Amino acid sequence: MRTRFKGSRSLAPEVRAIIEIGGQDSKFITLEDGGRVRDFSINDRCAAGSGRFLEVVAARLGVDLSTLGELSRDSRQAALISSMCVVFAETEIIGLLAEGIAPADIAAGVQNAIALRVTALAGRTVTPPVCFTGGVTLQSGMVRALETVFACAVHVSPLPQYTGALGPAILAGRRSRLDRLLHSRVRAGLHLPVAPLLAGDTAKVLAALTGHEPPNRRPPETSVNSDTCSGLIGPRRPPPPGCSAGRIPRHATTPL
């Protein structure tokens, strides 16, 4: 979930809610004002409301998946799809075709059913702006269906099918930079920011090592000083015995 959040927010920093519909599941992520994840819901028990569901529908209607969204644009009255189970919905679609319902109306009904499924994940309150990501965003008509049920604008994320891969890359790059900084200080025999390391606060650790404040956070009351042996955060203290020129003895360091 964290990787989806990172990938989507890197492309749309102002987003407050994220909808992701992929090949096998769908997710809804709610963000706080500062950009942290407040809550999330995921449908991972079956393929209902996912890209796999659309593949089954396209095969039953006899059209290619890439043209299913275009087909829905020709709908005059969207059909009512009451079942979201892939197996039961396929049976329902067979019955609708037998009744003479137009394939365009069935395609539009399926998109509306998926959008309603997402509202169940979202809960009662949705705060815009809303970002739509995942491979299903490539289905034209899905944005319109989501905007109808949420009654607000839904923005499509740039490169929506790649946000799930972009998030891990961002996190890995950040961790790689942090590791390099920590190892360089250990080799140099300098003190490490123990408090944020123990707290697992990567942003504060990077801020302490680089001297740059983390974004959207109030600057600490004490200054960061890497030229003394007293640590990176806090007032100056007399150096311990055997310490000079901002270095500490090798035997006093603790390997990570």
For residue 105, give the nearest of 80, 84, 122 by alpha carbon: 80
Q: What is the pLDDT of residues 183-235, one digit of tens each?
A: 666 566 666 665 665 556 667 766 776 766 655 554 444 444 444 443 444 44
Coil, strand or helix at 39: strand
Domain 2-165 in this protein, CATH class: alpha beta
Residue 140: φ, ψ to 5° = -60, 140
Q: Is 70 exceeded by the pLDDT of residue 156?
A: yes
Residue 254 banded pLDDT, cuts 50, 70, 90? very low
Q: Where along the chain do its domains lie?
A: 2-165, 189-252
**What secondary structure letter does DSSP report for 34?**
T
Instruction: Provide the 10 A C-beta neighbour count for residue 78.
Output: 19
pTM over 0.85: no
Q: What is the pLDDT of residues 39-58, one digit of tens each?
A: 888 876 666 678 888 888 99
Give bridge partners of residue 41 from the DSSP assignment: 28
Burial per residue of 184-210, b for 16 or more beta-carbon CB atoms within 10 angstroms, e otherwise: ebeeeebbbbeebbeeebbebbbbbbe
Coil, strand or helix at 213: coil
Residue 241: partners with Cβ closer than 8 Å, 6 or more residues away: none
More confident residue, 206 or 76: 76
**What secondary structure letter does DSSP report for 62?**
T
